[in-house]
A and B are shown apart, each in its own frame.
Chain A
Amino acid sequence: MKTGWRFFKVACAALLITAAISQTIIYKQMDLSLAETIQRPLIAEEVYFSDTLVVDVDEESMARLVPEFGVWPYKRDIYALVTDYLKEAGAKTIVYDILFSERREGDEMFARAIHRAGNVVLPGVALPFAPKRDAAYHAQLAALAWPVTSPVPAKHWDDMTLPRMELVPASAATVQFGVINLTPDMDGILRRVPLLHESYGKYLPNAALAALFAQQPYPAMKYLPDEQRLQVGQRSWPTTKHGEIILQHPKNPDPFLVMPFYRLVFAALGMPGYAISRAEIEGKTIFIGSTTASLGDYAATPHGIKAGLHIMALTYQNLAKNTVLHPPKLGWDLVLILTGIAFLAFSAHRHLQSAITLSLLAGASITATYLSSLGLLAFLNQQSALLFSITNSFTLYLLMVLLRIKTLYDEKQKLYYEKMAAEQTSAFKSKFLAYITHELRTPLTAIMGFNSLVSENKSLSPDERNATKTIETNSDHLLRLVNNLLDQAKIEAGKMDLEVRAIAIRDTINDVLATFARLAASKNVEMKMQYDVCVPQALMLDGFRVRQIIINLVGNALKFTEQGHVLVKVGWQGGWLEVSVEDTGPGISSSAQEKIFSAFQQGATPDIHAYSGTGLGLTISRYLAQLMGGTLSVESMLGRGSTFFLRIPADAPELPHPCAAPAGLTSLGTHENPVGAASAIPQPQATEKLTGCVLLADDSEDARILFKNFFDRMGLISLFATNGQAAVDIALVEHPDIILMDMEMPVMNGLEAVRLLRQRGYAKPILALTAHTHQAVSEALLDAGFDGCLEKPIKQDALQRALAVILQPARH
């Protein structure tokens, strides 16, 4: 509705603007030019008017008639001769386009010939000025005028030149006179011909109209303003409101049969060789005049300069065959305007706002309007205000584009301010996060730190130790709440990021279970874990967030299970880590199962509220799962417990063993001991003695002490350096059989040291001691010059195996 109303207003504005534009001279010129140069040449047909003959007093005729009749102007007997001949030959009507207003020899003969013929129309010329006229003139004028009983439109003149009274007697009561004036438009182009001329209050016909009613009683005339038609006798034609018909020109410039005057005269004289067949004259309307430059009048028409004689003949044909063009009518023009608007209304209705689409629709609008106008002209001879319709469409299109530009600008402004508001909100949220981090965590840190200090005291009484445990438990709980709130704020601010690295998933889950072990024991709830053997030792995950999810799930399960068990199952399939947490708690109704994942549920049922807790834990857990590309779902039945399923993509770090040794070295040891409250009991092993010298570079005193113990047991000579530079210096002097190089050391790190050693020509094995053994790091180590690596923390047996590959066993 809003769109329709908006479009209506724009369309009205376009109409008003176009109406204003249409009053300009340029527009009017363009309007005429459009119709004449683009439309009519497409519509015009080749026509040959075989029922009309034009007899031209041309230059050749003037030359040939000199011997017989002298120079122009001729005596009137020549016209008497011609008139008699044409009448005898069966001419339908003879129309002269030659003024016979002055007395000349032969007038009586001509008058008699006119009377005998009974079908002659003589011309008059309207004047824009009024010479003195006598009563006889006015009597003749009145006799020649057509009777008018109701207002009819006519071209007004101050005066009219009539033919000689002898030629057209005042007593004549039949049509035998017509006005031959040409009335071009202001631009000099003749387009319209007035059917009636008025002078001294008398209405006289156009010569072509007179030819149509020649020698008939004066017809009754009536103007039909609603239809814009002039009715003359039984005929009517569409006219302008000034009584003008709009000529329709044929495509061909020579639609008439033209005969030179001399040929007619010679034929009339019976000169041999100049006979004219009856067929050339019989039944035709004959127009006699001159197209010479000195005698003829000319007019510029949309189809070029034409002689008045030919225009008169064409006017007659238009009237006789009713092929005049209809002046533009409001009804048809409205159809065209609506045609143009319809395409653009469609775009407004469909909210089409692409510039290309609008342009195509505007083009379609103009094309459809033009084709409609052509159709009107071709099939109904109906002119249209084509340019108005096209201008209207174009103006409407421009207004829509301007409106669109304004809308885009407004939207851009709105987006700009919304973006600014969003940025300010985000900035506020970030500040809020930072503020909360400091204000909430700081006191918590103090509480937890001092509580930790107190708990280290071995002389605490059991009650005091329980008190520290209670403080620790509640601090942890409070910290979890704060962290959940902060995580929720991070989620809303879009600031939650993942840190993916290789983590030992079994250790992570074991650690979580260990955290809840005491609570489970106090509730007599069994905590169980099933670990699928195919789960890789390490998986690429954000360990911190995975741990957070597992804590939420296990914590929830344990919280609402009063008896039975909480079972954690861990599986890995096709690159997906699958963890399920199953409890024997009260279960969750089906209606509540989705709601528990929504933060801050209002009006929640007890089970929703119970599981939601603060309303954030499961929300955050699901969000984290989704952030990792996975899912978190639940299956549950009331009274039968619940199982939460976590499924997240988790690739195993690319092994084969990252420290793929070059030829001569076997794969090196890694540590595989599980982490938990108790470690596996190591079995003392018999240490194989080796021979050689080993240099250890490690800044950790604990590591040096440990390795010295290992080296001593293996019977090796050991050297030690506390940084990379010292290692290089010692190695280049002492040439140990193997170097074990820690990576992170002061002064010079392991990578720099090994590069320097290789540059200086040290070619013996160098092994990296590192905690990061995934492939990218290993390749970097090998590229730097290491021969392999040992994964920290290193145990004696792994070290033994690695050194045994390189060093020789000791001879006993």
Chain B
Amino acid sequence: MNISLRINGRPVEAEVEPRLLLVHFLRERLRLTGTHIGCDTSQCGACTVHLDDRAVKSCTVLAVQADGCEITTIEGMAADGALHPLQAAFQEHHALQCGFCTPGIVMAAHELLGRDHVPGEPEIRVALEGNRCRCTGYQNIVAAIRSACERS
């Protein structure tokens, strides 16, 4: 099947099998390997990307379902060589260790920046229910997100 979509602002056209997962399309066809695969039951969130401005788990989206859509991956977050405020906050607050879950968490946390208030710790922790990290214990991730929300 032919699909045509925009990825990180650029038009992309491709011929794909109907069963090809979006995450494999991004990683293997387009070599955008910042989006990671951490599980096979849609629970870990490492594969989170933005599809038409919504955070989705790309392991549970078929590439054909993204036809005509606008996708942003972690590679599309930094602009003109400068880190996105969320990314900068993650470095400032030591919110990553091995870095494997990080792209997915940044993409999921982005949604919190759009809320009309600065979320408190409980709200941030609940918002991260779809993401798993095994290294950080989440404390610094929560601090980083809160800091980025305060500044935005």
Q: Is B one of A's binding partners?
A: no
